[in-house]
Amino acid sequence: MEFTKMHGLGNDFIVIYGEKELPANADQLAIELCNRFFGIGADGLVYILPSDNADFNMRIINSDGSEAEQCGNAIRCVSKYVYDQGLIDKEEITVETLGAGVQKVQLDVENGKVVKVRVDMGQPILNGLAVPTIVDQPQVINYPIEVDGQEFYFTAVSMGNPHCVIYVKDAVNFDLATWGPKLEAHPMFPSKINVEFVTVTNRQHTDMRVWERGAGPTLACGTGACATLVASVLNGLTDRQATVSLKGGDLFIEWDEADNHVYMTGPAEEVFKGTR
């Protein structure tokens, strides 16, 4: 099996191209290969597959073997891979995802290589039951949740996968290990959830740290950055365009008022190739 190790702001993936469909044992392969001590090491295993509806189909298996509906960092890696490897020669492509449908991607190319990727992440889902949460409201904004006697307030957003955004005084130094897993598996979220802890520094900038469903703490989360901007606009904390600073670097996020779509711009990098 040939693979390429890639990352988007440190959120890293084992990228596989050449399969016709998702292998039946993809969950076990992800657990084995993503192990950082006994495997290759990654946050997830990404398959680039044929699509009847788009240029390519992307499937993402988390390091715990569960499948993610969407991943903003992975779609940037996939987009760079297919262009840099000569699998496509146009700078506007489409990628089919499990949870967010077909997404349009604009590639910024220099000297024949992709240096930056802008993804149309589609419209955010804000209905509480559709995110999903157990809260039957059109929007779930600054809603209370209690964990081990500690009360938080979250805003729920789906970008094809579920997120709860929680504002804290110091996101950079927040205790992810304590609160992330407890919130991920809270009964409030029937499909579990990705958790973003956010501090707004000004109307064009936020700091964010993430606990990803199925992967734990990661250096970056593209859909989480999108959810963070949407939540921050809904809470009146930022403008509709802002930079979201993650542990692995920055993403520029826009929530367009005209079409209601969220746009994410950021880098993707190839680390190495290998054979297993």
Q: Residues annotated in the binding site for substrate, as ranges? A: 11, 62, 72-73, 161, 194, 212-213, 222-223
Query: Per the residue annotation, which of 34, 77, 164, 221 is the catalytic one?
Result: 221
Catalytic residue check, 226: no
How many whole angstroms separate alpha carbon 167 and alpha carbon 154? 8
Query: Per the residue annotation, which of 34, 71, 164, 226 is the catalytic one?
Result: 71
How many whole angstroms separate alpha carbon 75 and alpha carbon 241? 21
Q: What is the DSSP letter of 115?
A: E
Catalytic residue check, 221: yes
Distance (Å) of CA 219 to CA 37, 70, 72: 18, 17, 13
Instruction: Give Cα 2 distance to the centre of its chain.
Output: 24
**Binding-site sequence positions:** 11, 62, 72-73, 161, 194, 212-213, 222-223
Q: How many other CB atoms sit within 10 Å of the CB of residue 148?
A: 7
Q: How many other CB atoms sit within 10 Å of the CB of residue 37?
A: 5
In this structure, are residues 234 and 139 in contact, taking their beta carbons and an 8 Å threshold? yes
How many whole angstroms separate alpha carbon 203 and alpha carbon 200? 7
Q: Which residues belong to the active site?
A: 71, 221
